[in-house]
Amino acid sequence: MKMNPESFVAMKGSKTIPMLTAYTCPVARSIEEAQVPVILVGDTVGMVEMGFDSTRDVTIEHMEYHIGAVRRGAKSTHIIGDLPYGTDVNPETAYTNARRLIQAGADSVKLEGPNIQVIQYLVKHNIPVVGHTGLLPQTAKNFKQVGQSSEDAKRIINEAQAIQKAGAFMVVLEHIPYSLAGKITKILSIPTIGIGAGPDCDGQVLVINDALGLGDYWPPFSKQYAYVSKTVLKVATEFSEEVRSMKFPSNIIQFTGTDRS
Ligand code: KIV
């Protein structure tokens, strides 16, 4: 059964929440089969799937395309759609773009930073919102951990509280000290979802390509549960050798299965 914002809030303090990103239909289908309750179609798609150097190159059209694909694969899973850079500059613009993501298949939207008026406006207009504080890839100068000084830690705590007060039902804490994430998790009544923020959050999110070992760089705080890039290399090498040596297709084994179409 598809989870809604209230059911995620109800999990706070009792069950930890696993979340994965997804960008394509077959991956989303497997994530749903694994009963992961929430998929984030993140603007990380720009870096891990589209080859851009920054998430700032991602457009609302890219997000609509990927959210549509993920929805077709995961019909019963809560999908969060990321509002890409520049699409939430004021409440009205954010509302128009959030509606586009919802129409494409998202159940809620995520936006980076303490964009309080925008969060309030979206929630008032019935769009469930996930906040995001700590490291903010859309505007960060680099991907180093933030919140190390007591001043910066205080700022992040204040941002998390303001995001909750504005009406968000969940908040992502990215790449901050573990103790700070634990402190925020205790203060807030909505679930915190950590990425590079340690074990004391209410849930954890991983970028699916990092978890799959798909790509050529994975952040140190991520975990590789497989090395899919190596499998792709092996398959491509074997296939090309077999075509060159005329081993594939074989004229002995005739295909008798069902056609895809
Ligand atoms: O875009 C994304 O995938 C994200 C996660 C890193 C939390 O925001």
- Does some domain include residue 149? yes
- Asked if the structure places residue 223 within a domain, the reply is yes
Q: How far is the CA of 241 from the centre of ligand 1 (A)?
A: 38
pLDDT at residue 112 in the model: 98
Question: Is 174 an annotated catalytic residue?
Answer: yes
User: Which range of residues forms the domain containing residue 74?
Assistant: 5-227
Whether the model pTM is above 0.75: yes
Q: Give me the CATH number covering residue 114.
A: 3.20.20.60
Does residue 243 sit within a domain? no
Does a structural domain hold residue 254? no
CB 200 within 8 Å of CB 181: yes
* 237 within some domain: no
The string of pLDDT tens digits covering residues 175-223 is 999 999 999 999 999 999 999 999 999 999 999 999 999 999 999 999 9
Please indicate, yes or no, if residue 256 is contained in any of the structural domains. Answer: no
| Ligand 1 proximal residues by C-beta, below 6 Å | 21, 40, 42-44, 82, 172, 174, 195, 205, 207
Domains of the chain: total: 1
Per-residue confidence in pLDDT tens, the chain, 261 aa: 899 999 999 999 999 999 999 999 999 999 999 999 999 999 999 999 999 999 999 999 999 999 999 999 999 999 999 999 999 999 999 999 999 999 999 999 999 999 999 999 999 999 999 999 999 999 999 999 999 999 999 999 999 999 999 999 999 999 999 999 999 999 999 999 999 999 999 999 999 999 999 999 999 999 999 999 999 999 999 999 999 999 999 876 666 667 776
Determine, yes or no, domain membership for 116: yes
Report the alpha-carbon distance of residue 152 to residue 204 in Å, rounded: 22
- Residue 261 domain flag: no
Q: How far is the CA of 43 from the centre of ligand 1 (A)?
A: 6
